Structure 1
Amino acid sequence: MSRLVVISNRVAIPDEQGRPAPGGLAVAVEAAMQGRDGLWFGWSGQMSETPPPPVTIDSGHMKYVLTDVRPQDFREYYNGFANRVLWPILHYRLDLAQFNESDLEGYLRVNQFFAERLSPLLKPDDLLWVHDYHLMPLALALRARGHANRIGFFLHIPLPPPDLLTTLPRH
């Protein structure tokens, strides 16, 4: 059976007893991993001007791989484009959207950075599960690196109609 690789903005590491962290995504990942090996990749929650190599935590059949991001990238990717543009638009709150070109550049840069860090960890038969709006361009970045893996994308809310999405500059 193929290994399942989950990629999300944050990673929910199990506690010392191996119990999954609380939260919907952690519970879903735990259920999906029953009877298979897996890897969960994402942001460590830490920032560093020069991010060190990713940290791997082994927990039974799962590997949790965590990477730091640069403070500027956090501001532009997470606080900026993901939460000041995508979150409002995807939640029908156009009045809250604040588009900024540098935030978009940071968002794209972090998705490229995730692809760069994840790429050497992938096996040809891995099944990739990209989670949520923080990582919409990740599949394209992985394809550009030559990965032909099956890639699924999960958006935790229904996709809004096209007329809302087209309010986004460079949609």
Structure 2
Amino acid sequence: MTDSNHHLPIRFLKPSIREAYVFDLWKSLGLLITSGWYNKWISASDINECDDLEKFPCYGKCQSTLGNYTCRCKEGYYGDGMTKDGCRRKPFHVLRFSIDINECDDLEKFPCYGKCQSTLGNYTCRCKEGYYGDGMTKDGCRRKPFHVLRFSIGIFHIF
């Protein structure tokens, strides 16, 4: 049996396969649509799978192609757009930088009653030379004891 319009065997026009084919040689003949599980010969117009997301799931950006469709995750996401929760947010990297302040410039906020030295992200406060203790507290530095060398001058007298 042949198709009267195209003179091709009917069995050629109705193959029972699950893939979509476009017959480049006979584009005017049409397209066998099976991505939507239609197993019939239709005209060259294609269905838009993105119009029926129940049958053709897409949880991202759907794009109908000839005989099929693609589904990509939206911008900023990656993964499988065809499965629910298949798209995950892309990790982003934060460029961290810090500006170090000189704590010694603000002794009201950063108390120091000794010798102040600013460090990266902090500061140190030591008592001035000749003193010891906690330079960050008022009256925290005490004078180091003065060591006196004692000696006696005596007269040694032998009789």
**Higher helix proportion, which one?**
1
Select the structure with the greater relative contact order (CA < 8 A; seq sep ≥ 6).
Answer: 1
Specify the structure having the higher radius of gyration (Cα). 2
TM over 0.5: no
Q: Structure 1-normalised TM-score?
A: 0.17
Q: Structure 2-normalised TM-score?
A: 0.17
